[in-house]
């Protein structure tokens, strides 16, 4: 009986952890931009805007690759909820109305990184994440979208995210194509897989109760 009791406790703890992981799940994408048309020192910037007035979303950028180039200097932050750099990774959230990260990099053939982002929505105006590529002084950002000046925008309006959720802009004046967003080669289990695992644990728990 004591073993069955322990099994119940373990099963419930694992089930709770699975459900918590599922609710806090972040979507993961690989972002790639062909930068062969650029040269010298440029600036990579990220913006995060709190639209719905609730602290409920975050984004991390990691595994930066500059295609033969490299990160340069120290990052600059504007607003709250932003930390990190282009070497160790960047973290942002919507704890303030808006946050901006910027750091220079030496251009290579292509820029790529992994984006992990949550997608919660409390109603009204959605939170938004954006990527900018600008000159070294941040005086000009490259984009055919004159309203945002961004090459990538993602509105966090809830639901399931996919590569088609991103607004992608080229920069004709700099001969830059639009970024490409793809799913990473490996990803966390999708919700159905977690559900099946939770159901299995529930079955174990039920069986242990029937033995009591």
Question: CA distances (Å), 196 to each of 18, 34, 191, in order?
Answer: 11, 40, 9
Q: Look-up: residue for tokens 């984004």? A: 59
Cβ–Cβ under 8 Å, residues 67 and 105: no
Percent of the chain with pLDDT over 70: 75
109-113, 124-128, 197-201: lowest mean pLDDT where? Answer: 197-201
The rounded distance, in Å, linking the Cα atoms of 47 and 149 is: 11
**How is residue 58 written in tokens?**
């975050």
All residues at 6 or more sequence positions from 166 whose CB lies less than 8 Å from its CB, including other chains: 29, 152, 153, 154, 179, 181
Q: Look-up: residue for tokens 């322990």? A: 6
User: 134-138 — which CB contacts under 8 Å span 24+ positions?
Assistant: 134/42, 134/43, 134/44, 134/45, 134/102, 135/42, 135/43, 136/40, 136/41, 136/42, 136/43, 136/104, 137/43, 138/43, 138/45, 138/102
Q: Which helix (H) or strand (E) holds 55?
A: none
The rounded distance, in Å, linking the Cα atoms of 81 and 95 is: 6
What confidence tens digit (pLDDT) does each residue in 68-108 have?
A: 999 999 999 999 999 999 999 999 999 999 999 999 999 99
Angle at 90 between CA 182 and CA 45, to 5 degrees: 80
What confidence tens digit (pLDDT) does each residue in 124-164 have?
A: 999 999 999 999 999 999 999 999 999 999 999 999 999 99
**Domain extents in the chain:** 2-21+192-211, 26-187
For the entire predicted model, the pTM comes to: 0.78
Cβ–Cβ under 8 Å, residues 164 and 154: no
What confidence tens digit (pLDDT) does each residue in 3-59 have?
A: 455 545 444 444 444 444 444 468 999 999 999 999 999 999 999 999 999 999 999
Q: Look-up: residue for tokens 């004159």? A: 146
Query: What ranges make up the beta strands (E) of 8-109?
Result: 27-34, 41-49, 58-65, 70-71, 76-79, 82-85, 89-93, 98-106
């Amino acid at each position: 009986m004591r073993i069955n009791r322990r099994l119940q406790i373990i099963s419930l703890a694992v089930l709770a952890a699975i459900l918590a992981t599922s609710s806090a799940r972040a979507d993961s994408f690989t972002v790639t931009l062909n930068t062969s048309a650029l040269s010298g020192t440029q600036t990579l910037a990220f913006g995060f805007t709190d639209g719905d007035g609730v602290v409920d979303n975050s984004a991390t950028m990691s595994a930066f690759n500059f295609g033969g180039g490299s990160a340069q200097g120290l990052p600059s932050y504007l607003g709250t909820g932003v930390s990190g750099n282009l070497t160790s990774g960047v973290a942002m959230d919507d704890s303030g109305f808006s946050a901006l990260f910027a750091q220079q990099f030496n251009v290579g053939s292509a820029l790529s990184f992994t984006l992990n982002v949550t997608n919660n929505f409390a109603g009204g105006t959605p939170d938004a994440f954006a990527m900018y590529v600008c000159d070294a002084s941040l005086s000009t950002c490259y984009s055919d979208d004159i309203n945002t000046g961004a090459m990538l925008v993602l509105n966090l309006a809830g639901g399931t995210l996919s590569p088609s959720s991103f607004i992608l802009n080229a920069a004709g004046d700099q001969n830059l194509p639009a970024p490409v967003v793809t799913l990473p080669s490996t990803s966390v289990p999708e919700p159905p897989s977690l559900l099946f695992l939770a159901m299995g644990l529930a079955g174990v728990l039920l069986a242990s109760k029937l033995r009591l």
